[in-house]
A and B are shown apart, each in its own frame.
Chain A
């Protein structure tokens, strides 16, 4: 194995290739952010709709459960025959996969609201939009955020794989390192992305705690 030296050499490698590093970083984060935003835009309205239309709930939950079991590499790879390689197919796959956790969590969040609160709100004459804005979204926010947290971390992982179908990102260095059997390059891709994922988890977890409405936690 070439480069069987001190694995910490990867730090030097990064230092020697800053432009490439930041390019990969940008590619990676672009994929993640776009995917999560698209996921949000589709999943949240979908969850709200499902909570309103009772017969939707069963099929949607069923689909979500199946969706959760499907290996994500398969989803990514299946883009190839029909959409080719590059940024767009990667984004497509990541978006679809981001929808799932956001949808599930938001739905649970909405359903967890005490039925009597919703009844009182209806009885007082809130319109649908007001009910959503004033009651359901604020109270479902912590759950929704947990979904976003999961979606982000998941997307970071998948964006790593997306390098395989031409999506760029840190996965490029990992694959390169594997191909030429070079540790520093390998780790130069792997360690930053690992740190990125952990940082995202911690950061978003912190924000989530801030997003819980005050009235739910006071003593």
Chain B
């Protein structure tokens, strides 16, 4: 085992640099996906007949193999980070939109009625009641998208987007087991940390929300 870990030990800066690249790639994509996905989720929650087509379409897009997706985008957005980020964002959209919509559906009818009864505008109700209550679902969607994104971003290395996938592909090309293992382990670690971390975060936020709800604020 120690010999396989050799690469990590010999090249810590490179590994860290690639890890940071990787995080950036996924991070930007998730941000974009959330910025588009949450409003979209709210939209299809409101406009019922949009639900089926939007969810089906994004579901379908999700099945496209990532490598193929990258490849199809390349004639239009070239190789490199832009293509990767775009594709990642599209993939993440599904989880986020679906979970936002489902989360809003799950909000207790009574709370919505109360909010309306108090004279809140739709926007206020959204901000003060519905979104906070749907937050656990939304966060789950973000978590799923992030973990999947880390996996897909690794593949993006092959189209020049950098990241930990670079290590893996180089390792494959040069038949260097160490590099493959280094890249793989870092990827796995990153995914597990993201999964766990966001999970913890959503727990904390929920506790916070419950506390403030109990305080009546």
Chain A residues at the B interface, C-beta cutoff of 8 Å: 7, 65-66, 68-75, 77-78, 80-81, 153, 156-158, 160-161, 164-165, 170-171, 174-175, 177-178, 183, 186-187, 189-191, 193-194, 197-198, 200-202
Contact = CB atoms under 8 A, between A and B. Distances in A.
Contact of B184 (A78, A177, A200, A201): A78
A69 B171 contact: no
A81 to B, nearest CB: 3
B154 A187 contact: no
B195 interface: yes
Q: Is the interface of B mostly helix, strand, loop or mixed?
A: helix
The winner among B4, B65, B74 for most chain A CB atoms within 10 A is B65
Interface stretch (B56-64, B102-110, B132-140, B209-217): B56-64
A187 B67 contact: no
Contacts of A194: 64-65, 68-69, 72
Given A81-B180, A164-B172, A193-B65, A73 B71 contact: no
B63 A77 contact: no
Nearest to A199: B63
A80 B71 contact: no
Nearest to B158: A178
A70 B191 contact: yes
B191 A161 contact: no
A201 B60 contact: yes
A164 B59 CA distance: 26
Given A69-B192, A178-B159, A183-B75, A190 B168 contact: no
Given A74-B183, A81-B181, A177 B71 contact: yes
Given A70-B191, A72-B151, A174-B68, 8 more contacts: A69-B147, A70-B188, A73-B168, A74-B154, A81-B177, A186-B71, A190-B69, A198-B63
B180 A78 contact: yes
A9 B69 CA distance: 18
Given A69-B191, A74-B183, A80-B177, A160 B172 contact: no
Interface residues of B, number: 40
Nearest to B59: A201
A52 to B, nearest CB: 29
Given A74-B184, A74-B188, A201-B59, A165 B65 contact: no
Nearest to B65: A157
A157 B66 contact: yes
Interface of B: 4, 59-60, 63-69, 71-72, 74-75, 79, 147, 150-151, 154-155, 158-159, 165, 168-169, 171-172, 175, 177, 180-181, 183-185, 187-188, 191-192, 194-195
B71 A201 contact: no
A174 B67 contact: yes
Contact of A201 (B63, B68, B159, B172): B63
B72 to A, nearest CB: 5
Contacts of A71: 150-151, 154, 184, 187-188, 191
23 contacts: A69-B147, A70-B191, A71-B187, A71-B188, A72-B151, A73-B155, A73-B187, A74-B168, A77-B184, A80-B172, A81-B177, A157-B63, A157-B66, A157-B67, A158-B65, A161-B65, A164-B172, A178-B79, A178-B158, A197-B63, A197-B64, A198-B64, A201-B63
Contacts of B67: 157, 160-161, 171, 174, 190
Nearest to A73: B154
Contacts of B158: 164, 175, 178
Contacts of A198: 60, 63-64
A200 B192 CA distance: 30
Given A80-B172, A157-B66, A200-B63, A190 B72 contact: yes
A202 B63 CA distance: 10
Contacts of A178: 71, 79, 158-159
Given A71-B154, A193-B68, A77 B171 contact: yes
Given A69-B195, A71-B187, A193-B65, A77 B180 contact: yes
